[in-house]
Amino acid sequence: MNRRYLLKNGCVLTMDKSLGDFKKADVLIDGPLIAAVQPDLDVPECEVIDASDMIVMPGFVDTHRHTWESLVRNVGADWSLPVYLQNIYYGTFGSKLRPSDGYAANLLGALEALDAGVTTLLDWSMVYSPDHADEFIRGLQNAGIRAVFALGLSGDGEYWNRESRLTHPEDARRVKKQYFSSNDQLLTMGLAIRGPEFSHWDTAVHDIQLARELDAICSMHLGFGSWGPDDRSIEKLHKAGLLAPDLNIVHANTMGYDEYKLIADSGASISVTPEIELMMGHGYPATGLFLENGGKPTIGIDVVTSTAGDMFAQMKFTLQAERSRINEKILAGKNMPIELNLSARQVLEFATIEGARALRLDRKIGTLTPGKEADLIMIRTTDLNLFPLNDPVGAVVQFANASNVDSVFVSGRPVKRGGKLLHVDLDHVRKLARESRDYIFSKHKISNAQGIGAL
């Protein structure tokens, strides 16, 4: 029998414009679904959870994360993009993973996400063998997270050779058949393709067509750093009739201004990863450029080598980087900003419903709409950094952090309650992760022109 939970008297941010927000309301979870959202529900035979000091809202949707990098987290606090690539790919850290290390990495990384209120992520996975793919998927499954597993090529030499046409369509078909024969499950399939800036054009076309054959989200890095300004990749995709809602463009910092409108008009999505882009040298986040052209960006965390794996920090970076971009223009005209150009609520939409829409999951998640699956989080408002609560949206976007996440539900199943993850032996997870970390560091020493302390 499915469990029923009644979350009583919470401050409810539904992110559903037709429902609005509630200063105080109840949320009924019946099995995997949200059954009702309204004040003063009286429901027999259910577990009642006191939400009177909580913000209840949809779980966050992270549209771009290299989840396996949880094993090498925080080593890259001083890494530029070239230094990151030198250490993570080109036959270095990533290529040292054994399949068992891939399992430990994705289990740890997915649990980190859940602990921080990220209920859905796109795992942009660079896979070295079929066994690696299987273990990456198993890690996500055992964590209990909702995810798009985006199957990609390894990060070795073939990936970075534009003339290489090496792809693995047969294994992609195997993975689809073995793990993703239904879209009505927590894990769905994507392809993490090289795209036209990192492969031969014919290969990019082939990979996009393969993704459509498999009914999979197709995600690619495009338009950033020194690769982006002159390539006109989006224009080429548009002229070839390939731009469509199933394409996800990661970064998009330095492409032509007119190309943002082409993306928006096609329904394709952009994943902005603001902290990493500002830090590593991808370019300025494309948030405002996409908005100006009719699009709505989504937010990704990207690499936990260099930033924490929570959405709270990325919402702040998204908001303030874009405000700063416009404020600097106003200041240059000898004026002061009066109204800020981007609101906290817009950014909260990017981190929830817009992310769900980009991953083709908005019919199931992203808002607290009755009939959708119950992917939701509860944020404690009695914590000193949030108390007293006056503006719940501002509190979530500007003031909250991962430690404030009290409870997390995925498809109606509690995976965190009272600030503690459930259904998981964390000591065992730490043991697996430590052993895998030690193994891959024994096989590769960090190379960093800026210098980094030895472990």
pLDDT of residue 155: 59
Question: Which CATH number among 3.40.50.12590, 1.10.3720.10, 3.40.50.300, 3.20.20.140 corresponds to the domain 60-355?
Answer: 3.20.20.140
pLDDT of residue 96: 79
Encode pLDDT of 137-170 as tens digits: 999 999 999 999 999 987 565 555 555 544 578 9
- CATH class label, 4-58+366-421: mainly beta
Peptide linkage before 32 cis (omega within 30 of 0): no
Each residue's pLDDT tens digit in the chain (455 positions)? Answer: 469 999 999 999 999 999 999 999 999 999 999 999 999 999 999 999 999 999 999 999 999 999 999 999 999 999 999 888 888 865 577 777 899 999 999 999 999 999 999 999 999 998 889 999 999 999 999 999 999 999 998 756 555 555 554 457 899 999 999 999 988 899 999 999 999 998 889 999 999 999 999 999 999 999 997 766 678 999 999 999 999 999 999 999 999 999 999 999 999 999 999 999 999 999 999 999 999 999 999 999 999 999 999 999 999 999 999 999 999 999 999 999 999 999 999 999 999 999 999 999 999 999 999 999 999 999 999 999 999 999 999 999 999 999 999 999 999 999 999 999 999 999 999 999 999 999 988 887 765 544 333 33
pLDDT of residue 452: 38
Closest CA to 220 of 271, 282, 273: 271
pLDDT of residue 87: 81
Closest CA to 29 of 366, 392, 369, 361: 369
Provide the sign of the torsion angle of the four alpha carbons 142, 143, 144, 150, taken in this order.
negative
Domain boundaries, the chain: 4-58+366-421, 60-355
Closest CA to 32 of 142, 140, 184: 184
DSSP letters along 157-195, please?
Answer: HHHH-TT-----HHHHHHHHHHH-S-SSSSEEEEEE---
Rounded to the nearest 5 percent, the helix, strand and coil shares of the chain are 40, 20, 40
Encode pLDDT of 212-241 as tens digits: 999 999 999 999 977 666 789 999 999 999
> What's the whole-model pTM score?
0.95
| Encoded amino acid at 122, one letter | L
pLDDT of residue 455: 37
Could you give the C-alpha distances from 209 to 122, 186, 202, 216, 243, in angstroms and in order?
20, 24, 11, 10, 11
